[in-house]
Structure 1
Amino acid sequence: MTYPTCRLLTLLTLTVVLGSSLTACFPVLVGGAVMTGLVATDRRTSGAQLEDESIELRAASRIRDNLGDRVHVNVTSYNRRVLLTGEVPSAQDRQLVEQVVSRVENVQSTVNELAVLGNSTLTQRSSDTLVTGRVKAAFVDAKDLFVNSLKVVTERGTVYLMGRVTQREADRATDITRSTSGAQKVVRVFEIISEDELRRILPLQAQ
């Protein structure tokens, strides 16, 4: 296998393993050990992680019930803060999606980044998936970031970064993302914590 092919497979694997929408499925697919590792390095409580998974599922279901197939909406929840990305056909639909999601149990706030555009193409979505994989691989290569403390979402070349991070980590992750091939714009949706709070979290992750 050639190096470029190997690198591409690595990027796709990282996207699957670290992607928020698939994390909840891993106990069935690969066993408890992998899931335990992911939970242990996540800066959310285990309860918040479960709530985020539930929020994403319930929100997606209610969007389908209310708007059907005329919209393309991705719902990403981190610590009960919900990021909405994708495309809707009208400003009214954009507002309706936000209203529907804001009523989902345990949602504390929403960040509405929906674009009033036609749905993105399969080619564009595939490109976005590769960008997400490149960003996550770059975070791993950086060595000074906890990659599972960050969520990466890419829509039409715009990369959204979520997570509980210090200001230093936020700036570092932003700089890395901006230098990643295919990333046209970076939008930060971080929850900033202090260095003292991070030091309190790290021993808990090591247990």
Structure 2
Amino acid sequence: MQVNRTRRLRQLALIPLLATLGGGLLSACAPLMVGGMVGTAMVATDRRTSGTQVEDQGIELKAGKRLADKLGDRVHISVNSYNRQVLLTGETRTEEDKAEAERIVAEVENVGRVVNEVQVGFISSLSSRSNDVLVAGKIKASLVDARDLISNAFYVVVERGEVFMLGRVTEREAHRATEIARGVSGVKKVVRLFEIISEEELARTAPKPPKPSESR
């Protein structure tokens, strides 16, 4: 009994930890920008421009507020934006609310495309959302462990065990990350929403290593 209780406490303690690791991006649907760095270092390795990163944050805030103002607590919808592509996940009770949510978000400034993955049916429980957070954490750890990937290139959203993967990545990186996510326990399905770039473009845009300091 004591062992089970200790294990449960550790699982609960992991939830706020994952939120911190996610760089403030972790919400009920568990979006996770994966990478081992935070602050200025994470911004520098993000494959979006700094201006686009700011725009994506603004889109999420504005869209979330407009959805709350117009649809209230009768829906559970999470908004995640990457390179102006906006992913909607969660649940509504009617098809009308699902369509209305997409319309509201499409009218937000700087939105380029809306991917509406909201499900019509019962609103998810807190335990289901907590499990999504744990699954997202496992995916993060697996991507960080992969030596052939830049983990910070991937933006992961988990909803009801379904994994949505975004990012500006090559086909090789997309395939590898998808296979990694599929191998994580608790994952039911992986949906790729990547923006595919060439290996040449990746080489051009990759951060250059710092020059060694000159010896005196």
The two structures have a TM-score, normalised by structure 2, of 0.83
**Residue ranges of structure 2 left out of the alignment (5+ in a row):** 1-5, 27-36, 212-216
Shift in CA distance, 66/200, structure 1 to aligned 2, threshold 3 Å: same
Moved more, 141-150 or 89-98: 141-150
Aligned residue number for residue 56 of structure 1: 60
Aligned residue number for residue 113 of structure 2: 109
Give the CA deviation at 1:3. Answer: 11
Moved more, 197-206 or 186-195: 197-206
- Name the aligned partner's letter for residue 157 of structure 1: G
Shift in CA distance, 176/59, structure 1 to aligned 2, threshold 3 Å: same
Moved more, 196-205 or 78-87: 196-205
- Residue pairs, 1:101-140, within 5 angstroms: 101-140=105-144
- Residue pairs, 1:186-201, within 5 angstroms: 186-201=190-205
Aligned residue number for residue 87 of structure 2: 83
Q: In the alignment, which of 87, 92, 99 is matched to residue 95 of structure 1?
A: 99
Q: In the alignment, which of 158, 164, 171 is matched to residue 154 of structure 1?
A: 158
Q: Which SS does the other structure have where 1:87 is aligned?
A: strand
Q: What's the RMSD between the two structures over aligned residues?
A: 2.5
Q: Deviations over 1:18-61 (max 9, x none)?
A: 25626xxxxxxxxxx93101101100000000000000000000
- Name the aligned partner's letter for residue 105 of structure 1: E
Q: Which SS does the other structure have where 2:79 is aligned?
A: strand
Q: C-alpha separation between the residues in 2 aligned to 1:205 and 1:124? A: 42
The two structures have a TM-score, normalised by structure 1, of 0.87
**Residue ranges of structure 1 left out of the alignment (5+ in a row):** 23-32
- Name the aligned partner's letter for residue 77 of structure 1: S
Give the CA deviation at 1:16. Answer: 2.9
Aligned residue number for residue 30 of structure 2: none
The number of residue pairs the alignment matches comes to: 196
Is the CA contact (8 Å cut-off) linking 1:14 and 1:136 kept in structure 2?
no
Is the CA contact (8 Å cut-off) linking 1:11 and 1:137 kept in structure 2?
no
Q: C-alpha separation between the residues in 1 aligned to 2:23 and 2:7? A: 24
Give the CA deviation at 1:148. Answer: 1.5
- Name the aligned partner's letter for residue 129 of structure 1: V
Q: Which SS does the other structure have where 2:89 is aligned?
A: strand
Q: Which has the higher helix share?
A: 1
Aligned residue number for residue 27 of structure 1: none
Shift in CA distance, 206/94, structure 1 to aligned 2, threshold 3 Å: farther
Bigger relative contact order (CA 8 A; separation at least 6): 2
